[in-house]
Structure 1
Amino acid sequence: MLELLGAVDRFGYAGISTIVFIESFGIPAPGETAIIAGAAYAGRGHLNIFVVALAAFVAAAVGDSVGYWIGRRGGRPLLLRFGRYVRLTSHRLDRVESFMSRHGPKMVVVARFVEGLRQFNGVVAGSTRMPFGRFLVWNVLGAALWVGCWSTAGYFAGDHLEEIATTVSRYLVVAVALAAAVLLAYFWRKRRSRRRTAES
């Protein structure tokens, strides 16, 4: 976090927006941490919190939209080609696409807060042919909530930024584990329901 604060001090709003932008269209980058660092720096009077939030919001919305068109043009072959670097197998992609097809709008918003899903959110939405207008509306909403949450947390963190970042990281792992458990339970119930239907 201290290193990122140094980068924010050097590059300012451009550094924050660049990191958030490249993370949003599929390249692993500490976008969430950049927002928190920028907001914390604003809390110390070195940046304007409203400009930090606006820069991050625009970068997140535009970055995800770029990811959408990458997924729309490249489709499954592109996802499978580069997804192996983050353990995105064909089987896992099938499940993600199936879930996105049924719960697309909700996933676009929720994925913003989940590490791993956030980077491929737009790409998967594009590959599953979600209408761009629908994607854009929910993408903007998700970006606004995500940026608003972390910029507020960073701004009021003050000198306790390190402790807060450690706590957030700890509970984020728990949150991701719970989300994974819910998804697994959902798919297990779905499969069990199909078996009962087939046996009837």
Structure 2
Amino acid sequence: MHIDQWIAAIPPLAVYVTIGLIVMIESLGIPIPGEIALVSATLLTIHPSSAVQWEFIAVAATAGAIIGDSIGYSIGRKGGKPLFEWLGRKFPKHFGPSHLATAERAFAKWGMWAVFLGRFIALLRIFAGPLAGALHMRYPKFLVANALGGIVWATGTTALIHFVGQAAEKWLSGFAWVGLGVAVVAGAGISLYVKHRAGKAMAAPADESH
């Protein structure tokens, strides 16, 4: 089957549901690549044979982020710090003491906005919901930051990849896959810059304590 036929055969609803579930599972505190899945799905919207629309991908990812983080918040509220200690023993690569300490510094520095900023940082994206619950952050404050973070992250990422990819594809006139590559590089560059700045901000309290 030709690539155009294969892309055209992908049911848009299946893409939206899959993205929503992947983002929701990651937001629960399970380390899976939600951001990569979001970018990959958005790339489909650039291809002329695809019926997938970036707006609905953004809606699905936002819903998954809000629902997943809220469930994670409930789990953290019930499990508390012992939950993270248990996870650290079982999955030290993702929930080790250093990871937890970094996430706690972010919460100490930014409060509820650690939930908002956490949507843009892989480590905090996993920790935000459960840790907010474990630290007994008030749910209304958590929900506001969670919803805003989900909307900005999902809409910003999908819009950036879609429109940069479209512009690159038109400019390169026919080299569609090169255009998609340019979109990925541009999106990854901006994402890495945001993560770098946020990482420096999180490390600042630790440096000041020495």
Please indicate the TM-score interval, normalised by the length of the shorter structure: 0.7 to 0.9
Paired AA for residue 55 in structure 1: A
Alignment of 1:93 with 2:96, yes or no, is no
Q: Does the 8 Å contact 1:39/1:155 carry over to 2?
A: yes
Q: Is the 8 A contact 1:69 1:126 kept in 2?
A: yes
Is the counterpart of residue 9 in structure 1 residue 10 in structure 2?
yes
Deviations 1:8-51 (A, max 9, x none): 93632111111111111111222122222222222334213322
Q: Work out whether residues 105 and 202 of structure 2, in 8 Å CA contact, stay in contact via their aligned partners in 1.
A: no
Matching of residue 19 in structure 1 with residue 22 in structure 2:
yes
Aligned counterparts of 1:89 and 1:104: Cα–Cα separation in 2:
22
RMSD, aligned α-carbons: 2.7
Q: CA deviation at 1:168?
A: 4.0
More helix by share: 1
Q: 1:173 to 1:99 in 2, by over 3 A?
A: closer
How many percent of aligned residue pairs carry the same amino acid?
A: 29
Of the three residues 36, 40, 48, the one matched with 2:39 is 36
Q: In structure 2, what residue type is equivalent to 1:33?
A: I
Matched residue pairs, number? 187
Q: Secondary structure at the match of 2:31?
A: coil
Gaps of 5+ in 1: 193-200
Answer yes or no: is the 8 Å Cα contact 1:25–1:119 preserved in 2.
yes
1:145-167 Cα distance to aligned partner (Å, 9 max, x none):
00111110222224422333245
Q: Does 1:179 align with 2:182?
A: no
- Structure 2 length as normaliser, TM-score? 0.76
Shift of 1:173: 4.4
1:56 maps to 61
Segments of structure 2 that go 5 or more residues without pairing to the other structure are 167-175
Equivalent-residue separation in structure 2 for 1:120 and 1:107 (angstroms): 10
What SS does the corresponding residue of 1:29 show, helix, strand or coil?
coil
User: Within 5 Å, which residues of 2 pair with 1:180-199?
Assistant: 180-189=199-208, 191=209
Q: Tell me which residue corresponds to 1:68.
A: 73
Q: TM-score, normalised by structure 1?
A: 0.79
Letter in 1 for 2:205: Y
- Which deviates more, 61-70 or 44-53? 44-53
The alpha carbon displacement at 1:57 in A equals 0.9
Determine helix, strand or coil for the equivalent of 1:120: helix
